Chain A
Amino acid sequence: MSLINIENLHYRYNSKGNWVLKEVDLEVNSGEFVVIVGHNGSGKSTLAKMLNGLLIPTEGDIEINGRSTKDRDNIWNIRQQVGMVFQNPDNQLIANIVEEDVAFGPENLGLESMKIRDRVDWALKEVGMEEFKRHAPHNLSGGQKQRIAIAGVLAMKPKCLVLDEPTAMLDPLGRKSVISTIEKLNKSLGMTVVHITHFMNEAIKADRIIVMDGGRVALEGTPKDIFAKVNQIKKYNLDLPQVAQLALELQKSGLDLPDDIFEVDRLVNLLCSLK
C-alpha cells in the first residue's frame, strides 16, 4: 500500500484567492526517494505543508497510511509519521543545546526520559553529529544545523521525511553533507523521502521526479524519462543537470553519446572510451 496518497487535491490560501494547487494526484510508496522540482511559486512548499497537516486540503484528500489529514484526531499521529525539515536552518532549531533540540520532538510525544535519551543519541549518530551534542546550534555551520534539524525529525521515528529546499541556503560543502545524509537514510533505514529542491543535480539519484508547474503536477517519471524531455523541462523554466546539459551540447556538436548521462563519472568514462 502507498504511504502517501493524494487524490484530486485542490488548495487555496483564502476563499477568494487563486487556486495554488490544482488536481494533484500523487502516490508515494514506502521506501521511495521522490524529488519535487518546479520554479518559484509553483506550489511545492504548499504541497509539502499539506503532507503533515500543517495545511488542510480545500478539496480532495490526503491520506497518510490510510488516515486522512482532514480528520483532526489523526493530526498528531500524522505529524509523527511525516517529519518536516524546512529551508532556513536558523529558524527551525528551538533549543540552545543540540541534544535538547533533537529531544524536542520526542518530548512532545510524551515519551519517557530514558527512551528520549536513546532516540536522541541514535538520531545524532545517524546524521553524523554525535560529537556536537553539547554544542550551541548557533556556532555550527549551515549544513550541520540542517543535519541537526534532520536528527530532530528522525528522533520522532517517522516513516517519511519531507524536506523543503533543505539545501537552498547552504554552501556547496554543506549541501553535499545534507544530501549524502538524506541518501544514506533512504538506503540504510529505508526511509521514505520527499525532497523538494531547486538544484537539478540533486534530482539525479531519485527514484522518481515530480515536476510542478502552476500548482499542477506537470511531469512525473524516473530521472531518465524526465531529463530526456528537454524541451518540456525548458518550458517549465527548469534546467537540466549540468552534466546532462553538457552531454546534450556535445551531442549537438556531433559526438556520439547516449541520452541518459547525468553523472560526471559516467560522462568522463564515455568520453575517454570515445578516443
Chain B
Amino acid sequence: MLDDIIIGQYIERDSFIHSLDPRIKILVIIFFIITIFLINAFTGYLFLAFFILVTVLLSKIKVKYIIKSIRPLIFIISFTLIVHLFMTRGGQIIWEWRFLKIEEEGLRMGLFMSLRLIFLVSYTSLLTLTTSPLALTDGLESLLKPFEKIGLPAHELAMMMSIALRFIPTLLEEAQKIMKAQKARGADFESGNLINKAKSLIPLLVPLFVNAFRRADDLALAMEARCYRGGEGRSRMNALLLVNKDYIVLALSFVYLISVGIFL
C-alpha cells in the first residue's frame, strides 16, 4: 500500500532537461500554468500537448512514469468532468434523460477542466522527475530570495522542504514496521467500512507521530552541533549557476507559451 506513493520521485538520467538550472524549470512551469488558464480553445491545448511532448522527449523519461503520476488524480479528474457535464448550462442540449441533461457548454467546460488538470499534473511531475529534490529546494530558495525583504523566510522554507523530502523514505519505512508490529498483535488495517478503517489507523499514526517528534528533536540538535545557524553566512558546495542554454530555454518557452496563451 505504501509503496504506491510516489512523492517527488526523481529519476536520474543524462538528459537536456535534467541539465537545466532548476530555477529555469520552475519559471517555465509557472508560465505553463498561466498559459493553461489563459487558453480558451482546443487548438491551444494541442499546442500545449506538443510542448509537453517535446519536454518529455528531451527529458528521456518514459511516458509510463508520467501516466503513473496522473493515476492518483483519476478520481478528481472524473469528478470534475461529471460535475461540469451535468451542472454547467448553456448552448444546445446534447443528451437528455429524465432530469439529467448535458448541454454543449457543460461538455466544453468539463473537457477543458479535465485537460487542464491532466496537463498541470503531468507537467509538474516532469519537474520532480527530472530535478533532484536538492536542486529543487535550492532553486526555490534562490527564486524566493528577493521576497525575504518583505518577510518571507525563503531559506527556512527551502530547508523545511528538503528535510521533509529526506525523511519521507525514513517515515514510510517506519510506518511499515509499525504496521507489521501492530498486525502481529492482531490489528486489522484492511477490512471493515471506511470509519473502521480510519479508526484502525490510530495505532499506526500515534507511534509514528510520537517518533517523528523525537526525530525532529534529535535532528535539530545534530544540526546545531554542526554549526547550523540559519541561512546567514551559509555557503553551498554546489552553487546554482545559470549558463547560456538556460537563458535560451527560458526565452523560447516564454515566447511560445505566452503567445499560445494570448492568441488561442
Contacts and interface: CB of A to CB of B under 8 A. Distances in A.
Interface of B: 132-134, 162-163, 165-166, 169-170, 173, 214-215, 218-219, 221-229, 233-239
Given A93-B166, A108-B228, 11 more contacts: A84-B225, A86-B218, A86-B225, A91-B218, A94-B162, A96-B134, A97-B134, A104-B228, A107-B234, A110-B233, A149-B222
A164 to B, nearest CB: 10
A92 B237 contact: no
16 contacts: A49-B221, A79-B225, A88-B218, A93-B166, A94-B219, A96-B133, A96-B134, A96-B166, A104-B223, A104-B226, A107-B236, A108-B227, A113-B237, A136-B169, A138-B169, A138-B170
Interface in A117-167: 117, 120, 136-138, 149, 152-153, 156
A196 to B, nearest CB: 14
Nearest to A93: B166
B237 A96 contact: no
B225 A83 contact: yes
A92 B162 contact: no
Contacts of A84: 222, 225
Given A83-B225, A86-B222, A104-B226, A120 B134 contact: no
Contacts of B218: 86, 88, 91-92
Contact of A156 (B219, B222, B226, B236): B226
Given A90-B215, A93-B166, A96-B166, A54 B233 contact: no
A107 B134 contact: no
Interface of A: 49, 52, 54, 76, 79-80, 83-84, 86, 88, 90-97, 99-100, 103-113, 116-117, 120, 136-138, 149, 152-153, 156
B59 to A, nearest CB: 20
Nearest to B239: A113
A79 B227 CA distance: 6
Contacts of A113: 235-239
A76 B229 CA distance: 9
